[in-house]
Amino acid sequence: MRTTKSYPLDNPEQFKKQLFAWSRQFDEITWLDSNNYQQENSSFDALLAVQAFTALKTDYHQAFDQLQEYQETTKDWIFGYLSYELKNDVERLTSKNFDGLRFPDLYFFQPQKIIQVKGNTAEFHYLRMVDDEMDGDFAEVLDLEERGESKEEGLRNEKISPRISKKEYLQKVHNMLEHIQRGDIYEANFCQEFYAENCQIQPSAVFSRLNEISGSPFATFLKLEQHYLLCASPERYLKKTGSKILSQPIKGTARRAENKEEDLEISQALANDPKEISENVMIVDLVRNDLSKIAKKGSVNVDELCKVYTFKQVHQLISTISAQLEDGIPAVETLRATFPMGSMTGAPKISAMKIIEELEETKRGLYSGAVGYFTPNGDFDFNVVIRSILYNAEDRYLSFSVGGAITAQSNPEKEYEECLLKAKAMHDALSN
């Protein structure tokens, strides 16, 4: 179905920048960048998919069934996203909060052109209908002058506003703590939205700045019609390689410091913080439970527990859980059984999602959903959509949300400060 051709690269980093600039001509774009983050053990340095041949776009009703049929019918590479609202397909839940972004709940496409950068090689995977364009496209990318993205404007003359005030946020966290004290939940991820209306941005320029600021291993630029995702996620949701499945939830965040000694102290304090560790361990238990639904008996294993990973903006506590998939489980069923990811919901999961819906003011939509791809043989890799800017170019509505895990040990003021720390990269990327 696809023709594959490899090209040697003299300067892979330069080629990546030229390739991303070249991609802007298309209506459907998925750009995945691992930012050379060695610990992530990615299958590629960068992966570009453009120009839809077929597509699936739907609301949450029977969304996973439709995705399974689409994935099994195409038997090809497909790229796209699962929004948080697919929880309503998995469980008897609803979403009635305000939605300024109006993204479809699920959107996947089969690209005509896929280009993978790995080491000093660019690998082109084109559908046969366009494989005569490979050499010309490669030459076009090489000849492309890198555009002056950093000079382009960010947000024009518009103020980013919080959907709720600090006072309201603190009150809602107190309400969440009351649920925890009553035993309704042990932990829940509570998020708040920042937004701008009637605004205009150059999405690719803002993404380039966000990616430069964050350098995250699951960075993603997504353009599907008028809908854009500019994502600097450090978190993997779920990866499938053959029968092996891997999840890497993040819970626990601390700031970076310019002074090396202070930065090391902050990192070590995070590694030994009882509150952050308890947050992480609760989600590890939830992920183990989710994976056990689809895994071979006795195969679920915690490979790493609460390891500190360091990124440009923050230190994070990350755990790694793996399992062997039970025979006969379809690839999409693996996602359905574990969605939404525990790091963005809480424990117990269904109770947490109900309380989240009650206390949050906006629909999460693609935020705290997942972006990724399926390969022709049914392998997949999906991130968690956090540290992300979402933009509807037609409605000129921009949004980003941030949140954190609320547990019995949470201090509302400190939780608010953590939100602002996570929001900093998005604010900075949007500043002129």
251 is catalytic: yes
Detail the DSSP E strand segments found in 149-204: 161-162, 187-196
| List 239, 240, 251, 422, catalytic entry | 251
* C-beta of residue 136 within 8 angstroms of C-beta of residue 12: no
Radius of gyration of the CA atoms of the chain, in A: 21
| List 235, 276, 279, 415, catalytic entry | 235
Nearest-angstrom CA–CA distance, 228 and 223:
5
* C-beta of residue 266 within 8 angstroms of C-beta of residue 315: yes
Residue 57 CB contacts under 8 Å (≥ 6 apart), including other chains: 104, 106, 107
Q: Kindly list the distances between the CA atom of residue 149 and the CA atoms of 20, 146, 155, 219, in Å, as whole numbers in the listed order.
A: 11, 8, 14, 17
- Report the largest interatomic distance among the alpha carbons of the chain, rounded to a whole angstrom: 65
Helix (H, G, I), strand (E, B) or coil at 231: strand
Helix (H, G, I), strand (E, B) or coil at 284: helix
Which of these, 194, 196, 191, lies nearest to 154 by C-alpha position? 196
The torsion angles phi and psi of 301, rounded to 5 degrees, stand at: -140, 140
Note the residue count of the chain: 432
Count of other CB atoms within 10 angstroms of residue 396 = 15
Nearest-angstrom CA–CA distance, 95 and 366:
13
The torsion angles phi and psi of 250, rounded to 5 degrees, stand at: -110, 130
Give the single-character DSSP code of 84.
G
Give the single-character DSSP code of 405.
E
Per-residue burial over 107-133, b if 16 or more Cβ lie within 10 Å, else e, is bbbbbbbbbbbbeeebebbbbeeebee
The torsion angles phi and psi of 300, rounded to 5 degrees, stand at: -75, 125
57 is catalytic: no
The residues carrying an active-site annotation are 235, 251
